[in-house]
Structure 1
């Protein structure tokens, strides 16, 4: 029988390595050990070098993170730390700019030069209103007129000099084109003195544009807005007293209604029009749920057109000097069947025909808010008794209304759940009748501060103070 020789290098059988083999044949591991011992001895002699990598503490470890990962980390930080974070380095400045979604432009050159798109590539909300106005930057005087704020200067003349000039239409259109090319995902825009061509460019490039606020607009400009098919929120400012004047009539409202059929919220400020314009909006914009009319210049009879807004849920009237002096006969008024909220703020309610027609059109409302409206006395407020479904009533700054007028109306509202009365000086606690007191007990929420005395008594309730010294000054 032949015996096979044992081969130590055979893959079938391997024996563990010996120290002699490592020392004599394979000296590479031994060299690594000796080199590590030498580095350790050098580090013990020099206390400044404690690591194998020189200047390891000065290396930016965030360079090991990708842009996407670092962007996620920066997005989790609070908003108050965004500006300090952008000062760390250029990379953080760029990444921090990618997180910015909303911006107000003060310098028009920042837009047209392309620096805006480079610095903030993911903008969704842009406000160009202040950038379109000529105003001194270092002025210490800021003028705020309702929706417009601008800087103004005081010259040598005796009158204030208001800078109401704005950029030319061609310059504004060029900025809109640059913005549309760089921000295709734009969703909200505020601009003044734009033309039809500039808005058409915006509508073609920014298909996701949903909210638009346009100042100093007219009927021709509304042709460009009509191309924004996905527009849902629109605010038109036609005329602002003392600043600028522009005309929005039934022609422009009809063009708007035929183009923007997906409108959900519409605000008309300083706009003209009549029954036909509001009717076109009601018939074409079937998704319209909120309508705000501010300081209108509409012709008489427009109030009856609100009945065509079948899905309207909220009606707001702001700073209107008049509502509708000649609303027409009651059989032509109609009403809004889906209306839930009626808000009146800083309106002059001097015409009984207007107030009566307004509450008749809004007879289905469940929430009525009247804030700082002049002329709302007992006779005017009696017309609100036609609204039988009211659950929420808020009265603030109605100085002509008395307790008797309030009681005559709210007692007819059987579904009333919340009552707020603030700063109505002629509503006295001493005039509250037992029937009104019973109504107060059945309410879910009552906020009663018609004057400063009531505010004081409500704040001292439960403390024992305000009762002729009953707690602190007892007679002995």
Structure 2
């Protein structure tokens, strides 16, 4: 029986390439010029391989509108290339690729690009500048500094706490996040015990690796670091400007002495319910003598007294903003505030008391350059301490009171000492009444901005003509004392209470 190749000379391996004039078609057939653009050419490619040639051609010419047959060129080799897609980015220099990657916004995109190849991984790592460390081994092995050599902001606090990462319970605080397990119920009131925190020697070793690998650090958050680790950090990272310290002691602050360019410092001694450590007047004095260029200082859960605040005021002459949160200071500390001569902003947050025994008025003094006073989530039932605070801050121009418990009419009346206030913001002061508000704001002749939100005892129906007249001349007015307030809706479209608005006073 004859084979298919005997019947069809086109498939015969010995077929004559010259066309036969005595075929059934009656005319000579022209031989077509075979090329890669014609994958189904029967004299070059077996029909069973036609699809493979077609796919190869599409992959080679992806993104190109000119084929080999159109340009008149032949392929260099007829053999199939197992890797038909060349790496065109290899023709670009590292500097040019970094410029291209720099156009992408967000670190998530850089991380996705780093998964393409090893070269992209190294280049994208140079664009990452901020890292929150979760695995301490990643730092100790040197992979952190190798992969991200240009870091300027590092937070190693989460990696300093020994907790199971897959516990599924996350305690989130404004200061830190802690993964919890069932064993936290035996920690005597604190979620993080001393045994749960990495030792100072281990932390110092990691800080040394980080400081030697990333010398351009600008900001760092540390936990349980000792004097040795801070000294190494100050020596290697001369550009360090901002630091956040958790769970530190007084003696550890001696290592911060060489941080000459440090401008912002957040010192956390105790966090209620999470961990407990002590920072006293000794640590504040060491801190003040070493960091004389501080511009902003935040003290959270720190102990202290008159001596510590005095040392800060005398040594840190450039200090402009002081934040005191949940302080455990001894009585009389307010008297030392007068030494902060260049202080512009004072913020007191989450304090159970201001100062139970501030002393006589003649010993208090005042901050001559102070412009803003912020009180948030503070207990203000102690009228003597609140009055002493307003006396120290009598030069302020802006007063913010937010969710302060115990702020009634009598306590708020002490603010009349501050006669230069131009902006007042009240939020969540439920004990304050319309009468108490009016008696104070009418005494401020320079007031031009007023904000009253969620003060339920301030009523629209109790607004007097004098208070309404004041509203008409204010540059900015936000009046939402309760959900039933209709004053703001009635003033809508009249231009009253807005900068450059009309006045209701008769001429």
TM range (shorter): 0.7 to 0.9
CA contact (8 A) 1:399 1:424 kept: yes
Q: Which moved more, 1:90-99 or 1:424-433?
A: 90-99
SS class of match (1:217) = coil
One of 78, 96, 99 as aligned partner of 2:127: 99
Counterparts of 2:393 and 2:491, CA distance in 1: 39
SS class of match (1:325) = coil
SS class of match (1:322) = coil
Q: Root-mean-square deviation (CA), in Å?
A: 2.3
1:308 CA displacement: 0.8
Q: Which runs of 5+ in 2 are unaligned?
A: 1-32, 40-53, 61-66, 494-507
Counterpart check, 1:418 vs 2:449: yes
Where in structure 2 are the equivalents of 1:164-203 lying within 5 Å? 164=193, 165-203=196-234
Query: Which residue number corresponds to residue 159 of structure 2?
Result: 131
**CA 1:161–1:91: 2 relative to 1, 3 Å:** same
Counterpart check, 1:77 vs 2:77: no
Counterparts of 1:311 and 1:380, CA distance in 2: 28
Counterparts of 1:142 and 1:274, CA distance in 2: 35
Counterpart check, 1:115 vs 2:140: no
Counterparts of 1:364 and 1:460, CA distance in 2: 32
Query: Which residue number corresponds to residue 392 of structure 1?
Result: 423
Counterparts of 2:491 and 2:111, CA distance in 1: 45
Q: TM-score, normalised by structure 2?
A: 0.79
Where in structure 2 are the equivalents of 1:249-288 lying within 5 Å? 249-288=280-319
Deviations 1:444-470 (A, max 9, x none): 1111111111289749968xxxxxxxx
Q: Which moved more, 1:394-403 or 1:220-229?
A: 220-229
Counterpart check, 1:207 vs 2:207: no
SS class of match (1:416) = coil
1:156 CA displacement: 11
CA contact (8 A) 1:153 1:161 kept: no
Query: Which residue number corresponds to residue 229 of structure 1?
Result: 260
Query: Which residue number corresponds to residue 86 of structure 1?
Result: 114
CA contact (8 A) 1:231 1:262 kept: yes
1:147 CA displacement: 1.4
CA contact (8 A) 1:155 1:161 kept: no
Query: Which residue number corresponds to residue 310 of structure 1?
Result: 341
Counterparts of 1:427 and 1:327, CA distance in 2: 31
One of 364, 370, 382 as aligned partner of 1:333: 364
CA contact (8 A) 1:174 1:198 kept: yes
Counterparts of 1:197 and 1:333, CA distance in 2: 39
Q: Which runs of 5+ in 1 are unaligned?
A: 1-39, 463-476
Query: Which residue number corresponds to residue 497 of structure 2?
Result: none
Counterpart check, 1:290 vs 2:321: yes
**Aligned pair count?**
423
1:45 CA displacement: 4.3
Query: Which residue number corresponds to residue 220 of structure 1?
Result: 251
Query: Which residue number corresponds to residue 42 of structure 1?
Result: 35
Deviations 1:274-325 (A, max 9, x none): 1111111111101000000011111111101111111101100010111111
Counterparts of 2:85 and 2:272, CA distance in 1: 61
CA contact (8 A) 2:110 2:128 kept: no
Which segments of structure 1 move beyond 6 Å, counting only runs of 4 or more?
53-57, 156-161, 459-462
Deviations 1:126-148 (A, max 9, x none): 00110000111112211124412
**CA 1:310–1:158: 2 relative to 1, 3 Å:** closer
Query: Which residue number corresponds to residue 8 of structure 1?
Result: none
Q: TM-score, normalised by structure 1?
A: 0.84
**CA 1:358–1:67: 2 relative to 1, 3 Å:** same
**CA 1:180–1:158: 2 relative to 1, 3 Å:** closer
Deviations 1:126-183 (A, max 9, x none): 0011000011111221112441210112369899994541111111111011111101
Query: Which residue number corresponds to residue 242 of structure 1?
Result: 273
Q: Which moved more, 1:450-459 or 1:78-87?
A: 450-459
Deviations 1:95-137 (A, max 9, x none): 1111111110000000000010111110000001100001111
Counterparts of 2:156 and 2:487, CA distance in 1: 46
One of 462, 482, 500 as aligned partner of 1:431: 462
SS class of match (2:101) = helix
CA contact (8 A) 2:257 2:287 kept: yes
1:336 CA displacement: 0.7
Query: Which residue number corresponds to residue 498 of structure 2?
Result: none
CA contact (8 A) 1:153 1:162 kept: no
Where in structure 2 are the equivalents of 1:139-178 lying within 5 Å? 139-154=167-182, 162-164=191-193, 165-178=196-209
CA contact (8 A) 1:392 1:418 kept: yes
CA contact (8 A) 1:300 1:326 kept: yes
Query: Which residue number corresponds to residue 441 of structure 1?
Result: 472
Deviations 1:64-83 (A, max 9, x none): 11111110111112225333
SS class of match (2:299) = strand
